[in-house]
């Protein structure tokens, strides 16, 4: 009887731990699409053509997009589940940058300064 009780309590603890993850998911045609999160963008300023490294989580294995201000898409040099390297687009301007993963979820936005 004690073993069944421990298994039941373990299941409840696991469920309580995973419950907050529900808020970071989006449902897309029955497929769970996790919302990516940017931890850092380095450097935080640069000019067109410079390489920028974005670190974070839940980028996924399949390449998505990195969007600079005014919906300008960056050239992706490298894409992993937690690191993306891009070139600052020629037409980028100072403002927010975000990641859009393949399934459509968008990350938080981080400011980036484009130098002349």
What digits encode the pLDDT tens for the residues 33-59?
Answer: 999 999 999 999 999 999 999 999 999
pTM over 0.85: no
Q: CA–CA separation, 10 vs 69, rounded Å? A: 46
Q: How confident is the model at residue 18 (pLDDT cuts 50, 70, 90)?
A: very low
Q: CA–CA separation, 104 vs 61, rounded Å? A: 14
Q: CA–CA separation, 73 vs 21, rounded Å? A: 29
Q: Which domains does the chain have, with CATH numbers?
A: 25-114 (2.60.40.10)
Are 89 and 68 in contact by the 8 Å Cβ rule? The answer is yes
Torsion angles phi and psi, residue 29, rounded to 5: 50, 45
Residue 65 structure tokens: 């997009």
What digits encode the pLDDT tens for the residues 52-91?
Answer: 999 999 999 999 999 998 789 999 999 999 999 999 999 9
């Amino acid at each position: 009887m004690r073993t069944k009780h421990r298994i039941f309590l373990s299941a409840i603890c696991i469920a309580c731990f995973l419950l907050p993850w529900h808020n970071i998911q989006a449902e897309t045609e029955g497929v769970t699409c996790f919302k990516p999160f940017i931890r850092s963008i380095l450097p935080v300023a640069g000019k067109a053509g410079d390489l920028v490294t974005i670190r974070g989580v839940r980028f996924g294995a399949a390449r998505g997009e990195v969007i600079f201000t005014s919906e300008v898409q960056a050239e992706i040099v490298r894409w992993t589940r937690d690191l993306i390297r891009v070139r600052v687009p020629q037409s980028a301007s100072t403002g927010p940058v975000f990641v859009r993963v393949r399934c459509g979820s968008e990350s938080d936005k981080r400011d980036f300064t484009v130098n002349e």
